[in-house]
Amino acid sequence: MRIGLDMMGGDFAPTEAVKGVKLYLDTVASDVHLVLIGDEQQLTPLLAEAQLDQSKYSVVHSSQIVGMNEHPTKALKEKPQSSISIGFHLLKNEKVDAFISAGNTGAMMVGTYYSIKGIEGVQRPTISTPVPREDGSYGLLLDVGINADCKPENLAQFAQLGSLYSEYILKRPNPKIGLLNIGEEEGKGNLLAQATYPLLKENKQINFIGNVEGRDVFTSKADVIVCEGFTGNIILKMAESFYDIAKHRGINDDYLNKFDFESYGGTPVLGVSKPVIIGHGISKGIAFKNMLALAEQMLQTKLLEKITASFGNKEA
């Protein structure tokens, strides 16, 4: 397995990216080879200093960087030697099996759309967040921001994608799928939720348990919670703010500490045919390490093959 990592993406690159690589190589025993994409002049001394096993990685030089606030499409077009452009080029040409960056999110999405094939049958890719629960397990919430307006069919597909991710990556057998709504009974909610409910109910590939409400997000009532990206993004950012509030008020609680979503790493783009993982701009070493581990897990579990089969079966 070869995982490509953008060493120049994120506010603390390349220092924290190198730290992440070290953490990953030190703690994860695997046959993964890392392809580190970045400015050689900057990387060489940092990598030397980190004393890594040189057989475990190679460096691909990139001479440009897509800035965090650059216009995604324009930047990718004008900067073919940027670490993100090169990363997608390598992924497209099968020089790497997965690509990770904590750089410009928009550029990562544009790169994904233009370089990587969608999975047949999936109308729109989606991004998700793990949801910490008191029992130590993780739920999944999706979409969390790239699909602000959705049709019922989109939500039904997110449910299916989320179900497979929950099963294979979060290790929830037969995950319970809930539709985020404002009321428990079928027929409640806004027009989108009302129209989505029957689609989820009739989808035999998922274990639909009905509506869940705002108070259920952090419980284990559902393992996967489905919503459009507007509400999902509001929820995610509000949950992150609770971590800040707790920290600010001097509350040190094992569970609330898990609301530090930024440490999780990044979100995979689900619904495309290769693993692409987008990190927070402020990713630190642990986040880079977690993203590397996630890419490895996505490859090892053959998640994308399972998603492809799931959507293929449905059409058949």
For its own copies, the binding residues (CB under 8 A) are 134, 145, 148-149, 180, 182, 189-191, 193, 213-219, 228-231, 233-242, 244-245, 248-249, 251, 253, 255-256
- Cβ closer to its own copies: 204 or 249? 249
d(CA 60, CA 96): 11
Choose between 98 and 146: whose C-beta lies nearer to its own copies.
146
Rounded CA-CA distance 232/155 in Å is 12
Helix (H) or strand (E) holding 59, with range, is strand 57-61
Place of tokens 């089969």: 309
CB of 75 to its own copies, least distance (A): 17
Element (H, E) at 38: strand 33-38
Nearer to its own copies, 79 or 258 (CB): 258
Identify whether the C-beta of residue 101 lies closer than 8 Å to the C-beta of residue 279: yes
Closest approach of its own copies to the CB of residue 121, in Å: 25
The CB-of-139 to its own copies minimum distance in angstroms stands at 13
SS3 for 35? strand
The set of residues, in sequence order, having a beta carbon less than 8 Å from that of 240 and lying 6+ positions away, is 259, 260, 261, 262
Least Å distance between CB 235 and its own copies?
6
- The residue assigned the tokens 């060489």 is 44
Least distance CB 32 / its own copies (angstroms): 34
Helix axis angle for 303-315 and 152-168, nearest 10°, is 140
Q: How far is the CB of 298 from its own copies (least distance, A)?
A: 26
In angstroms, rounded to a whole number, what is the distance separating the alpha carbons of residues 293 and 4?
12
DSSP structure string for 205-254: TSEEEEEE-GGGTTSSS-SEEE--HHHHHHHHHHHHHHHHHHHHTT---T
Closest distance to its own copies from the beta carbon of 149 (Å):
5
Instruction: Using the minimum distance from each CB to its own copies, give the nearer residue, 4 or 178.
Output: 178
The nearer residue to its own copies, 219 or 297, going by C-beta atoms, is 219
* Residue 109 to residues 37, 180, 240, 263, Cα–Cα distance (Å): 18, 25, 22, 21
- Cβ proximity to its own copies: between 114 and 255 the closer is 255
**Nearer CB in complex with its own copies: 74/237:** 237
* Structure-token pair, residue 114: 């233009």
Distance CA 306, CA 3 (A): 20
- Shortest approach of its own copies to residue 238 CB, angstroms? 4
Q: Which is nearer to its own copies, 177 or 239 (CB)?
A: 239
Distance CA 1, CA 247 (A): 39
